Structure 1
Amino acid sequence: MTLTAFLKDRLVYIMTFLFLAGFAILLFVLENYRYPGLIESGTMVYIAVFAVFLLIIWLAADYVRQRHFYRQLQEATERAGERDGAAIVNNGVTHEQKLVVALLQEQNAAFLNELNQYKRQQELRNHFVLQWVHYMKTPVSVIDMQMQEVLRELPLGEEAQREAAQSIQEEAERMTRGLEQMLHTARLDKFALDLHIRRRPLHEILRSAVNSHKRLCIKHSIFPRIDGEAWVESDEKWITFVLNQLIGNSIKYSKTKPGSKNLQFRIKEQNGGAVTLEVEDEGIGILPHDLPRIFDPFFTGENGRSSGESTGMGLYLAKEVCSRLGHSLTAESVPGKGAVFTLTFKPGGIHVME
């Protein structure tokens, strides 16, 4: 609190003091008028100056005494958005200030207690999600293996049974990818604990991710092509997750278009050591009014709602993972012609993150 604000808060007291001092001087003047020579004019001036001097001394002493408390309040106000902002105010002077300090401490303790309970609940919930995902991955894997065995043993001519088995296998793959997305969502809060940065061949990681989608690509007449090679510093598991999201989205929004479609991957080394990966599909594209929001959580967009398969979390997680790895992810699109997602691996990557 500045001295000006301090004086404004005590303006009523100052005016009252000056009024009483002025009233006393007025009484002296009237008394001197009644009995001339009783009080000299110099004495009245001295009394007035002395009263003002006492007022200034009192205000200065009071301000110095409470200045530390006001500074604490000012600093706490500036850090109001921080968790420990209220803990700064810990020293009151007057009884009223001590009550304020006690109130803030009680409120801060209650807040921290509630926050710790919430964190504990989140940890338990994340633990349950991780356990459930790992539990569900086993039966899904068994279903996939059984469908592979069924397809191997089906005799020629049983096209209906083969189509049904392939459909079940495809749904099992979708369940597997959904479980992986949930698993990575739960792990995002502990990102730093699940990170292993090393120099890896981007083209090999990309080729592995494309091969995991080859069944869908063949089924929907999508022909992937990888151009270029480069080595990047990143976490292989997390960047594979990002690539799976981009490839899965490209297939999802390309399969409804008739005929054959291309899925182009272009790896380029830029000046300064950066590496870019462009993922270009020939799908239905993204509408202009949806494009700025595709990386927002739970945003599905008009095309996503029409397809009925979008959760609105895939691109959000991909963007979030890229940001934490020190990479960038952007998108461009022409409705009806396709979309281009550009993944940029900056020099130094995660090593230059703040």
Structure 2
Amino acid sequence: MSDAQDARGARLPWRRADEDDLASGPDRFGPGAYLVDRAATLGILAFCLLGTACMLLPLGVSVQGTLLVVGFIALCAGTALTLDYRRRARFYREAADLVRELRSAGHFPALIAEPPFLEGRIAYQVAGGIAQLANAETGDAQASAQNYREYVELWIHETKTPIAAAKLMLASMHGAQAAKLSRELERIESQVEQALYYARSTSLSNDYAIREVCLAAAVREACKKNARFLIERSVAPDIDIPEARRVLADEPWLVFILGQVVVNAAKYGASTIAFTARVEEEGTPHERTVLEVRDDGRGIPAADVPRVFERGFTGANGRDQGSATGMGLYLVALMCERMGLGVGLASEEGTGTRVLLSFPHDRRRAMTPPPPVRR
């Protein structure tokens, strides 16, 4: 088996585009950078010192006296530049550290003090204006996304009515054409359901409820909902899960997740799908139930395994099918993340595929990233 691909590991960590610029290379707020930035000022100062010396010597001031005057002026200028550098560097370094950790531009002005020098105050005021603009744009984007989501959900619910009517009409029809039409109608219904769950999973609100769920019952329900497809593909589910085994999850979401896994296995050549459950890390804070869904299908090419949870990725098998959308396993990973579940996948061409779902036992840890499941 190739190494299991954890859905959480498949996502790139949060990172800002300019973080590399702030964190790499020479210290852009160091003394050297400051002196380079003040090159014109230093040039004028050097010219001033040289001019002072040239004027004092013809006036009869001794060399020692000239050096004393020039040194005093240089000392005062150096002290002024040092104090100016320190207060500027403190502000800019604090701002850079804050940008690396910040999650929202709107929080920047509230988390940093207004600097005491003019350029810093101007930058601070500009940052405040940008933060207000970012907050307004974020609010508009959230409102637009919410309106779009509500429209999609309304459209999906409206679409279910003609689907149900078509099913009633098909009930009185018989023959090969009726069977084909029924299969196509089920495909439409499956895609509509997938769109509904995607809309819900991307909502800012928690459109689910984490409760204790009978794992075996959820597996049976997922197989039942896809029974016609399994029968057509001659796939036999083998459920070996104790009835007493209960996990923390949202039942409709869990049934949908299992349904996506079952359909994928049947679609790609499996003749059997085995469901088993085990407890790992028993007696520790990381104690969890791991559900393993194993099939004997064609497997996934090794090059495709690291990307199976990416949105829209179909891989070699999906391209061969021609009808794959690349959304099934993406939704599985997304919904597991929303519920605080772990998900992983291991596969080998010609042998089959294993999908692993881990359910934390501690409800307080249900919404935190669980440790990777055991391979």
> With structure 2 as the length reference, what TM-score do the two structures score?
0.77
Cα deviation for residue 282 of structure 1 reads 2.7
- Partner residue of 1:122 out of 126, 145, 150: 145
Is 1:222 aligned to 2:232, yes or no? no
Specify the alignment match of 2:74 in structure 1: 52
Specify the alignment match of 1:275 in structure 2: 289
Q: In the alignment, residue 54 of structure 1 is paired with which amino acid? A: C
- Partner residue of 2:248 out of 233, 252, 259: 233
Which aligned pairs between 1:197-208 and structure 2 lie closer than 5 A?
197-208=210-221
Partners of 1:76 and 1:218 in 2: how far apart? 57
Cα deviation for residue 173 of structure 1 reads 1.7
Does the CA contact (< 8 Å) of 1:325 and 1:350 recur in 2? no
Q: In the alignment, residue 203 of structure 1 is paired with which amino acid? A: A
Counterparts in 2 of 1:206 and 1:81: CA distance versus 1, 3 Å: closer
Q: In the alignment, residue 208 of structure 2 is paired with which amino acid? A: L
Partners of 2:55 and 2:82 in 1: how far apart? 29
Counterparts in 2 of 1:31 and 1:98: CA distance versus 1, 3 Å: same
Unpaired runs of 5+ residues, structure 2, are 1-28, 369-375
Does the CA contact (< 8 Å) of 1:326 and 1:349 recur in 2? no
Counterparts in 2 of 1:96 and 1:345: CA distance versus 1, 3 Å: closer
Equivalent residue pairs, number: 333
Specify the alignment match of 2:46 in structure 1: 18
Is 1:176 aligned to 2:189, yes or no? yes
Specify the alignment match of 2:301 in structure 1: 287
Partners of 1:73 and 1:291 in 2: how far apart? 40
Partners of 2:97 and 2:273 in 1: how far apart? 56
Which structure has more helix as a fraction of its residues?
1
Partners of 2:95 and 2:292 in 1: how far apart? 52
Specify the alignment match of 1:30 in structure 2: 58
Q: In the alignment, residue 254 of structure 1 is paired with which amino acid? A: G
Is 1:340 aligned to 2:354, yes or no? yes
Is 1:146 aligned to 2:169, yes or no? yes
Greater mean deviation of Cα atoms: 236-245 or 74-83: 74-83
Does the CA contact (< 8 Å) of 1:286 and 1:333 recur in 2? yes
Greater mean deviation of Cα atoms: 91-100 or 283-292: 91-100
Specify the alignment match of 1:158 in structure 2: none
Partners of 1:139 and 1:214 in 2: how far apart? 22
Counterparts in 2 of 1:85 and 1:199: CA distance versus 1, 3 Å: closer
Specify the alignment match of 2:257 in structure 1: 242
Does the CA contact (< 8 Å) of 2:273 and 2:293 recur in 1? yes
Unpaired runs of 5+ residues, structure 1, are 33-38, 152-160, 256-260
Q: In the alignment, residue 185 of structure 1 is paired with which amino acid? A: Y
Specify the alignment match of 1:155 in structure 2: none
Greater mean deviation of Cα atoms: 49-58 or 82-91: 82-91
Deviations 1:320-343 (CA, angstroms, capped at 9, x unpaired): 111222222222223234322122
Identity of aligned residues (%): 26
Does the CA contact (< 8 Å) of 1:76 and 1:85 recur in 2? no
Does the CA contact (< 8 Å) of 2:290 and 2:358 recur in 1? yes
Counterparts in 2 of 1:147 and 1:116: CA distance versus 1, 3 Å: same
Greater mean deviation of Cα atoms: 50-59 or 313-322: 50-59
Greater mean deviation of Cα atoms: 135-144 or 273-282: 273-282
Counterparts in 2 of 1:298 and 1:174: CA distance versus 1, 3 Å: same
Partners of 2:66 and 2:281 in 1: how far apart? 86
Q: In the alignment, residue 17 of structure 1 is paired with which amino acid? A: L
Is 1:196 aligned to 2:215, yes or no? no
- Higher Cα radius of gyration: 1
- Partner residue of 1:314 out of 328, 339, 343: 328
SS state at 1:190 partner: coil
Greater mean deviation of Cα atoms: 101-110 or 123-132: 101-110
Q: In the alignment, residue 220 of structure 2 is paired with which amino acid? A: R
The CA RMSD over aligned residues, in Å, is 2.9
Does the CA contact (< 8 Å) of 1:69 and 1:93 recur in 2? no
Cα deviation for residue 75 of structure 1 reads 4.9
Does the CA contact (< 8 Å) of 1:77 and 1:85 recur in 2? no
Deviations 1:280-325 (CA, angstroms, capped at 9, x unpaired): 2232221222122111110011111111221100001101111222
Q: In the alignment, residue 257 of structure 2 is paired with which amino acid? A: V
Deviations 1:110-168 (CA, angstroms, capped at 9, x unpaired): 444333333222222111100000000121122223323x16xxxxxxxxx33322222
- Partner residue of 1:251 out of 266, 270, 280: 266
Counterparts in 2 of 1:233 and 1:92: CA distance versus 1, 3 Å: closer
SS state at 2:291 partner: strand
